[in-house]
Amino acid sequence: MTERSSGIDGPALAVGGEQSALAAAPGWSELVLQSLDRGVLSVSPALRIMTINQAAGRLLGVEAPAWAGRPLADLLGGDEPLARLLERAAGGGEPGSLGEVIFRRAGAERAVRTRVAALKDGTGETMGALCILEELRQGDPLEAERQEQRALLGRMAASVAHEIRNPLQTLSLGLEYLRKSLSSDARYEEPIERLQRQIDRVGQIVNAFLAFARPPQPQLARGDIAAALDRAAEGAAASLQAKGIALRREYQAQLGDVWLDAEQLGRALSNLIANAIEAMGPGGELCLRTGWLAAGEWAARVSAASSLTGEVALIEVQDTGTGIPPDHLAQIFEPFFTTKPKGVGLGLAIARRVVEDHGGEIAVRSQPGQGTTFAIGLPRRT
């Protein structure tokens, strides 16, 4: 037993000693850091750059060694979404990521995916923030995979819709035959109507699923977002009147045209307005708002990281309703998530898909008992 034990422990101790020696060797950690093909950037709680490797310098368009110890604001600027994300994480806030950020340096552009996390010591105390940067190249396999998944979902949706619609049509025809055959007996009128309502509801769910899973590509043309809001509000006029809800408009003067698909964006706005009306009791107020914001102002307004740059066209739908519970906010745009007894849970998912297909972003802020605001930001295209 003794000989066997020493035969194993000897090499193990040798390997362990070699590992300890390498880890303790001057510059070993730095060598590992500089060998990574992904960018690594870390900052202190005071937002000074503590670590920046060569890959991060290349992606950000700077000479990495010269930036250690300098303020983060000198590198990124105070209005950069990434700077705000690092500031939040360094202060102990939630980590986050940016799907795509465009860095422009010396006339060159690089599309970068970033992920930010808080740096914590063994006791859980926040010691700063860490950012990993990865360049997005044309033909990125992750993006190709997402596109393939969307195409597969679209094909599946079309097949499912076809298989469900045919029997639904047969059921509707059968109910119509029963209605005529039993028209002389009032006892059957209400049960038949109930069945027809359920068939209609299934049809609506199928149509909503198809609209979400296989949306047409937006046909962008210059359009007026205030006019799009007005058309969506006109479609909800009866509901507004029935509940005695006041409609207020806050449109920025001379907003100008935005590149949009009027039909698709109108559908998204109609979904947001319908949600707002359902959330309010009698005597509430619906506010529709438009304006232009700088990208930094947009990100600050929605309190979230953003990949939008330049000027952003703002659209807001604000209600004075019941608000959304904080634990529901993270799921609010997920397909089939709903708290309504008869809800489908696709209205907000479709709205997000439409906005993202326009190259924009959608966000929500809400206070239970005070109301909810849905904000859409669309990029300005010349």
Chosen domain end from 91, 119, 135: 135
One domain, residues 116 and 201: no
Phi and psi based region of residue 40 (left: phi greater than 0; alpha: psi -120 to 50; beta: remaining): beta
CB 129 within 8 A of CB 86: yes
Distance CA 127, CA 369 (A): 37
> Three-state DSSP class for 322?
coil
Extract the residue ranges of the chain whose pLDDT is less than 70.
1-28, 77-80, 93-110, 136-163, 204-217, 256, 337, 340-345, 381-382
Domain span including residue 195: 141-213
Which CATH number goes with the domain that contains 340? 3.30.565.10
HSE-CB for 90 with a 13 A CA cutoff: 21
pLDDT in the model for residue 65: 81
User: Could you report how far apart the first and last alpha carbons of the chain are, in Å?
Assistant: 80
pLDDT tens per residue across span 114-146: 778 888 877 878 888 888 888 766 545 555 555
Q: Give the pLDDT score at 314.
A: 93
Q: Say if residue 240 is in the same domain as residue 367.
A: yes
Token readout for 273 is 């307005």
CA dist., res. 57 & res. 41, Å (int):
9
- Is 348 in a helix, a strand, or coil? helix
Q: Which two tokens stand for residue 145?
A: 């995979």
Both 106 and 183 in one domain: the answer is no
If asked whether residues 116 and 187 sit together in one domain, one would say no
363, containing H or E segment? strand 361-367
Q: Which of 191, 213, 235 is the last residue of a domain?
A: 213
Q: Do 340 and 254 have their domain in common?
A: yes
Q: How much is the pLDDT for 112?
A: 76
- Do residues 257 and 302 share a domain? yes
Residues 103-122 have pLDDT tens digits of 665 455 667 777 788 888 77
Same domain? For 159 and 270 the reply is: no
Do 319 and 228 share a structural domain? Answer: yes
pLDDT of residue 300: 83
User: What's the domain count of the chain?
Assistant: 4
Cα distance between residue 41 and residue 370, in whole Å: 40
Considering the domain architecture, whether residues 277 and 151 belong to the same structural domain is answered as: no
How many Cα atoms sit within 13 Å of 146 on the Cβ side?
A: 5
User: What pLDDT is attached to residue 246?
Assistant: 94
Question: Is the pTM above the cut of 0.85?
Answer: no
Asked if 110 and 61 count as a contact pair (C-beta separation under 8 A), the reply is: yes
What the block records as the tokens of 94 is 């939630």
Mean pLDDT of the chain: 77
Asked whether residue 46 falls in the same domain as residue 115, the answer is yes
For residues 1 and 50, membership in a common domain is answered with: no
User: Of 74, 103, 135, which residue constitutes the final position of a domain?
Assistant: 135
Q: Are residues 226 and 357 in the same domain?
A: yes
Class of residue 232 by CB neighbours under 10 A (exposed 0-12, middle 13-18, buried 19+): buried
